[in-house]
Amino acid sequence: MRRFEGYAVMVTGAARGIGAATARRFAAEGARVAVTDVDPREAEKAVAGIREQGGAARAFTCDVGSRDSVEAAVAATVEEFGRLDVLVNNAYACAPDAALFEDEPDEVWARDLDITLTGAYRCCRAALPHLVASGRGAIVSVGSVNGLQDYGNHAYSAAKAGLGSLTRTLAGHAGPRGVRVNLVAPGTVRTPAWSGRDAALDAVSGLYPLGRVGEPEDIAAAVTFLASSDAAWITGVTLPVDGGLTSTNRGFRAQLQ
């Protein structure tokens, strides 16, 4: 299936994990992909993997915390590929919570919101004129179940909830201009962020109705669906991709048995 022949796609935070899997999936379906990340060496490794599989990709440095960096990455993508059809906002920051909420430093709160929420805003702002010009533009942001329910991480969760709100408001603004805007909300996904914590992943697997945590490819499949013409009449939605986690409370149910 080659749903993205002739498309140019930009993915942020694409060097590892969900971002890298998403870039691979777009490339496998025919897109030319801008693999952007704050770590240029890792971005180049991701591009090499895509090219080994016959895909088309270029690596660009992009710090979503900097307006100049974002605008330069978008401009470089358009210069390289001649257009931009899809933006995937995947970059994020997530710092551990302090033991007590009142001990949370301002700097931690500010960074999580700046990278996760304001970073996506910067990317949408820079990309939108090009997405409008493409005639088939789409934005897909990677949120989290943390933006829907309580799973800890105050600042990160607030930022992901804000990303869901931005998705809705931007969908209303951009829809008449021909651009769709949607969000996927993953549950626990086996990414490098969980490196060395296999026991924790095994422990939470039983909380998922489908009996496992997610893989990056699970999220990539949902992102590419929402970006494709298969979702041509879908905009402004938050799609949980969470193995059923937010549909039920298995821990509560187990206590009643």
**Which residues are known to be catalytic?**
156, 160
122-145 exposure pattern, b = at least 16 Cβ within 10 A, e = fewer: bbbebbbebbeebebbbbbbbbbb
Q: Is 204 exposed, middle or buried (0-12, 13-18, 19+ CB in 10 A)?
A: middle
Beta carbons of 153 and 94 less than 8 angstroms apart: yes
Cβ contacts of residue 93 below 8 Å, gap of 6+?
111, 112, 114, 115, 116, 156
- Give 41's contacts (C-beta < 8 A, 6+ positions apart): none
CB burial of 76-86 (b: ≥16 within 10 Å; e: otherwise) equals bbbeebebbbb
